A and B are shown apart, each in its own frame.
Chain A
Amino acid sequence: MDFRIDVVMRYLPLLMQGLRITIQLSVIAVGVGTVIGLFISLMRLSKIAPLRWIARGYVDFIRGTPLMAQIFLIHFGVPPLLGLSAFNPMLSGTIALSLNSGAYVAEIFRGAIQSIEKGQMEAARSLGMTHSQSMKYIIIPQAFKRAIPPLGNEFIAILKDSSLVSVISLQDLMMSGRMMQARSFRPFETWLAVSIFYLIMTMSLSQFVSYLERRYSKSDNN
């Protein structure tokens, strides 16, 4: 078996291009997804029934359908509805991944918020804080801390799932791999290199998450 490291080196710039797209896409999806997730989780816990239904429908739809179908739906399905010819793949990819991570993050936040002891809300309310003040200053900060480990897992999943955007010919790391294989005829080198890139990213991310966990554990629960 001969492993041609020179092939990997030759296509490194191509892979780096894809890597950049993958990182961009994942960071935006995670950021937007977190904001969507927070709002959706609050809607799901709302006293107003229609808000709960909308949030529930959204989460069920996203979690019950394949991400690839969601990507196609947004890339090919939505633009005609709006009277547009097409979205550029980066836009569709970002929207699809953000909406997808939003639903999963919403469930993580909902669980974390519900795990905060009832006494915390009661103490806040007994001091005269409104429900929203109590959520903002007391419940959500504590829930956020408890959500860090599952959020970390979700972000790792998003990073890997972002590879699916290659189906709408967005040139992410996965797409770069396909191009490299087609040009070099060296599948083993190609996919090993691509995998290692993903691995480096997911491992750095999980390191970062455990750093955050350690940092926030200093004021841990009583």
Chain B
Amino acid sequence: MITIRDLTKNFGKLEVLKGVSCSITAGEVVVVIGPSGSGKSTFLRCINQLEKANSGEIIINGTDIMDKKTNINEVRQDVGMVFQLFNLFPHKTVLENIALAPIKVKGISVKDAEALGRQLLKRVGLEDKAEVYPEKLSGGQRQRVAIARALAMKPKIMLFDEPTSALDPEMVGEVLEVMKDLAKEGMTMVVVTHEMGFAREVGDRVLFMDGGHIVETAKPLDIFNNPQHERTKAFLNKIL
């Protein structure tokens, strides 16, 4: 579903990605872990071109998304993204946040978009918050709305960029629950996170990144119980 070859990315003189390759199959949940500054968020953001990679190849469902002829807006409709800081639209209600893109991008009617919005809010357990502005919500609720907003475009792939890192500890669980449900339904997911419990329980595969490389990739149990590389061991020792 996603094939990435030799991806490199520099910010000025700083090399953040130094040739990253991997492929992700449909329905797979890939968890990306690694120390901060290892390039994992940049890697994720390259997948929907929020960052433009300097070289390499990204093929999503047969489309080379780095090709200049590719309409990136169409690709992004299939690739939902959830951000660390939610990035809800503060001037719109919860329901408007969710319904906006389906209306403006896909051209569906306001009525259908709102019905879809309510259905998604129910799915994330917030059907009573439809008319509320984001500022009235807790962090966990905001992130669940952000997930519903991304799902409203009916994406085939969901990217999560540290979705629980900005949350108070007691709210992490509610967001992870929603993500688990999504994984169970067969969504293809790439999740950058520090939640090792989630990686272990939900991940099909874990990528360990360090210094702009994918150092090790394995099934969660293998990587946690029997890491092959020194750097993986050192990292896991520090956090577990």
List A residues at the B interface (Cβ < 8 Å).
117, 119-120, 122-130, 133, 137-138, 141-142, 145, 218-222
Contact of A222 among B76, B77, B88, B105 (CB under 8 A): B88
User: Complex formed: what's the CA distance from A220 to B135 in Å?
Assistant: 7
B155 CB to closest chain A CB (Å) equals 9
- When distances are taken between beta carbons in the complex, the residues of chain A under 8 Å from B80 are 126-127
Beta-carbon contact of B153 and A222 below 8 Å? no
Beta-carbon contact of B142 and A137 below 8 Å? no
- When distances are taken between beta carbons in the complex, the residues of chain B under 8 Å from A142 are 89-91
Contact of B50 among A117, A126, A130, A145 (CB under 8 A): A126
Beta-carbon contact of B83 and A119 below 8 Å? yes
B53 CB to closest chain A CB (Å) equals 16
How many residue pairs, one in A and one in B, have C-beta atoms under 8 Å apart? 75
Render B73-107 as a binary contact track against A, CB cut-off 8 A, 1 for contact: 11011011101011111111000000011001100
User: Complex formed: what's the CA distance from A130 to B73 in Å?
Assistant: 6
Render B130-141 as a binary contact track against A, CB cut-off 8 A, 1 for contact: 000111000000
- When distances are taken between beta carbons in the complex, the residues of chain A under 8 Å from B146 are 123
Beta-carbon contact of B74 and A127 below 8 Å? no
- When distances are taken between beta carbons in the complex, the residues of chain A under 8 Å from B50 are 122, 125-126
Beta-carbon contact of B89 and A129 below 8 Å? no
Residue in A117, A125, A128, A142 whose Cβ sees the most chain B Cβ within 10 Å? A128
Beta-carbon contact of A221 and B90 below 8 Å? yes
- When distances are taken between beta carbons in the complex, the residues of chain A under 8 Å from B91 are 141-142, 145, 219
- When distances are taken between beta carbons in the complex, the residues of chain A under 8 Å from B73 are 125, 128-130
The A interface is mostly helix, strand or loop, or mixed, namely helix
A206 CB to closest chain B CB (Å) equals 24
Beta-carbon contact of B83 and A123 below 8 Å? yes
Contact of B87 among A119, A130, A219 (CB under 8 A): A119
Contact of A125 among B76, B134, B135, B153 (CB under 8 A): B76
A112 CB to closest chain B CB (Å) equals 13
Select from chain B the residue with minimum beta-carbon distance to A131. Answer: B73
A90 CB to closest chain B CB (Å) equals 38
Beta-carbon contact of B135 and A219 below 8 Å? yes
A119 CB to closest chain B CB (Å) equals 4
User: Complex formed: what's the CA distance from A180 to B36 in Å?
Assistant: 74
Residue in A117, A125, A126, A133 whose Cβ sees the most chain B Cβ within 10 Å? A126
User: Complex formed: what's the CA distance from A218 to B92 in Å?
Assistant: 11
A219 CB to closest chain B CB (Å) equals 5
User: Complex formed: what's the CA distance from A24 to B89 in Å?
Assistant: 37
User: Complex formed: what's the CA distance from A189 to B87 in Å?
Assistant: 58
Select from chain A the residue with minimum beta-carbon distance to B100. Answer: A137
Q: A128-B74, A220-B135 are in contact. Are A122 and B87 (CB under 8 A)?
A: yes
Select from chain A the residue with minimum beta-carbon distance to B75. Answer: A128
- When distances are taken between beta carbons in the complex, the residues of chain A under 8 Å from B150 are 126-127
Select from chain B the residue with minimum beta-carbon distance to A218. Answer: B133
Select from chain A the residue with minimum beta-carbon distance to B93. Answer: A219
User: Complex formed: what's the CA distance from A149 to B105 in Å?
Assistant: 33
- When distances are taken between beta carbons in the complex, the residues of chain B under 8 Å from A125 are 50, 73, 76
- When distances are taken between beta carbons in the complex, the residues of chain B under 8 Å from A129 are 73, 101, 104-105
Beta-carbon contact of B104 and A133 below 8 Å? yes
Residue in B79, B81, B104, B134 whose Cβ sees the most chain A Cβ within 10 Å? B104
Is B193 among interface residues, defined by CB-CB distance under 8 A? no
Beta-carbon contact of A119 and B85 below 8 Å? yes
User: Complex formed: what's the CA distance from A126 to B87 in Å?
Assistant: 11
Beta-carbon contact of B153 and A138 below 8 Å? no
User: Complex formed: what's the CA distance from A222 to B88 in Å?
Assistant: 9
User: Complex formed: what's the CA distance from A1 to B78 in Å?
Assistant: 81
Select from chain A the residue with minimum beta-carbon distance to B74. Answer: A128
**Can you list 14 A-B contacts (CB < 8 A)?**
A120-B89, A122-B83, A124-B89, A126-B76, A127-B153, A128-B74, A128-B101, A128-B105, A129-B73, A130-B73, A137-B104, A142-B90, A221-B90, A222-B135
User: Complex formed: what's the CA distance from A86 to B104 in Å?
Assistant: 48
A143 CB to closest chain B CB (Å) equals 10
Beta-carbon contact of B101 and A222 below 8 Å? no
User: Complex formed: what's the CA distance from A142 to B89 in Å?
Assistant: 9
